[in-house]
Amino acid sequence: MNRQDLTLLTDLYELTMMQGYYAKGQNEKVIFDVFFRQNPCNNGYSVCAGLEQVIDYIKNLNFTYDDVDYLRGLGIFSEDFLHYLSGFHFSGDIYAIPEGTVVFPKEPLLKVIAPIMEAQLVETAILNIVNHQSLIATKASRVVFAADGDGIMEFGLRRAQGPDAGLYGARAAIIGGCVGTSNVLAGKLFDVPVMGTHAHSWIMSFKDEYTAFKYYAELYPDNCTLLVDTYDTLKSGVPNAIRVFQEFRDAGKPFKKYGIRLDSGDLAYLSKEARKMLDGAGFTDASICASNDLDEHLLHDLKMQGAAIDSWGVGTNLITSKDNPSFGGVYKLAAIQNEEGVFVPKIKISENTEKITNPGNKTIYRIYDKTTGKVKADLICFAGETFDTSEDLLLFDPIETWKKTKLPGGSYTMREILVPIFKNGECIYKSPSVREIAEYCKQEKKTLWEETKRLFYPHQVYVDLSPKLYEVKKSLLDQMSITE
């Protein structure tokens, strides 16, 4: 989809609220935060993604004549408001955590500072983009972790929920650590490796399996992976693959890269038996690839069972994040600028403690152990707050405040992870390539403790509030009461 087509990719209530602000003459500058409350898939961290598409959306945000005519036809918007929309452009500031960064619940992934009408309009599209890609990048990272160094190919396009989900899901999967995708359009647009073998229909279209294998090998001698489970994996598929490999070797035409793919059955047993057969025939360098409704849990079990598999094709369960299909990111008002130009903190309260927001104009510092370089915690504080790493730093849980940790001065380092993206409506940030983001993400995950990366019951990284922010939040909560 052309990014210029996304102006009306919004919920109707964003526009009806905009018209209300317009009619009231209310367009003060505000701050909205994008954040999520819980890591998907019970993971110990998430991977943020989608910023480049958010940038494209903001850059191309304008209402065409057709857009305005459509809105006029709804019969609920005034001509004055439609005239305002016809000249609309985003004039605010945006800060964001760069794509590929590991992130944690409650911290702002993205911050919008803009007149309230502009900030309200961009809510839906930003959430749509960031929620989807962050979800798939996080899911891919889990799958990659379970593979323990084996390559993961994303090949879920045909099972994705539409073309955009398949395209940008593939992008996010590469960021999360996949080595390639079957999606050719993603390969072209994002300059990432495209991979694939052949289908069962290829085998079935020939008079026999051997002939199908031989012709495919003649076509692709530099990368020949043969699908061996169309009929009988161990009695037919693997022996016919070995026969073809042997003929090419005997003819003095050894393959540069070759192997077999398993797509059904007991992958642990079949791969180990196939490995014995290949090695016994002298093809110790032949690879074994596996597919068949894989996810991180099945990969983990297969690795535990000693499956002789070198690479994995993961489709449906990755591209849809089937067990956790929503990231859950939200967009909440954090501050409103008063007549003196000061941002007044705002808070949303709830009987559900997890839904109480953090007020004010904020930034995030990531705190690292100086010796290991591992993440100790993230600290949300007011923008402009500074810290001296030579001094002791007291961290405390913002809910269970008696849980405290003191980091001795000189034992830690800090890095601000929210960076400016737009200033006064102009983009001042250059997005890295997808491959560069993927490499950055790989390095980011090295800063996590192993306990945080494990698939089951991972350690949760602490996200704390600075004393100043905590006191403001507490004061606002003391001033307000929850209505039934």
Could you tell me how many helices (H) and strands (E) the chain has, helices first? Answer: 17, 21
| pLDDT-derived band at 484, boundaries 50, 70, 90 | very low
Instruction: Sheet with 180-181: list strands edge to edge.
Output: 180-181, 151-154, 311-314, 287-290, 258-262, 224-227
Do residues 185 and 447 lie in contact, with contact meaning Cβ atoms separated by under 8 Å? no
Q: What percent of the chain has pLDDT over 90?
A: 96
* Residue pLDDT, tens place only, 375-434: 999 999 999 999 999 999 999 999 999 999 999 999 999 999 999 999 999 999 999 999
| pLDDT-derived band at 245, boundaries 50, 70, 90 | very high
| Ranges in the chain annotated CATH 3.20.20.70 | 150-319
Query: Which pLDDT does position 482 carry in this prediction?
Result: 52
Task: Tell the CATH topology of 3-136+325-479.
Answer: nicotinate phosphoribosyltransferase (3.20.140)
Distance from C-alpha of 168 to C-alpha of 130, rounded to nearest angstrom: 11
Distance from C-alpha of 339 to C-alpha of 332, rounded to nearest angstrom: 22
Query: Which pLDDT does position 423 carry in this prediction?
Result: 98
Query: Which pLDDT does position 382 carry in this prediction?
Result: 98
Whether the per-residue pLDDT at 43 is higher than 60: the answer is yes
Do residues 189 and 181 lie in contact, with contact meaning Cβ atoms separated by under 8 Å? no
Q: Token pair for residue 457?
A: 């019951």
Which pTM was predicted? 0.96
For residue 272, count CB atoms less than 10 angstroms from its CB and return exposed for 0-12, middle for 13-18, buried for 19 or more: middle
Q: What percent of the chain has pLDDT over 70?
A: 98
Task: Tell the CATH topology of 150-319.
Answer: TIM Barrel (3.20.20)
Query: Which pLDDT does position 4 carry in this prediction?
Result: 53
Q: What is the mean pLDDT of the chain?
A: 96
345-366 mean pLDDT: 94
- Secondary structure of residue 213 in the 3-state scheme: helix
Nearest to 198 by CA among 225, 222, 172, 175: 225
| Ranges in the chain annotated CATH 3.20.140.10 | 3-136+325-479
Give the angle subtended at the CA of 301 by the CAs of 300 and 304, to the nearest 5°: 90
CA distances from 435 to 50, 99, 174, 175, 432 (A): 14, 11, 8, 7, 8
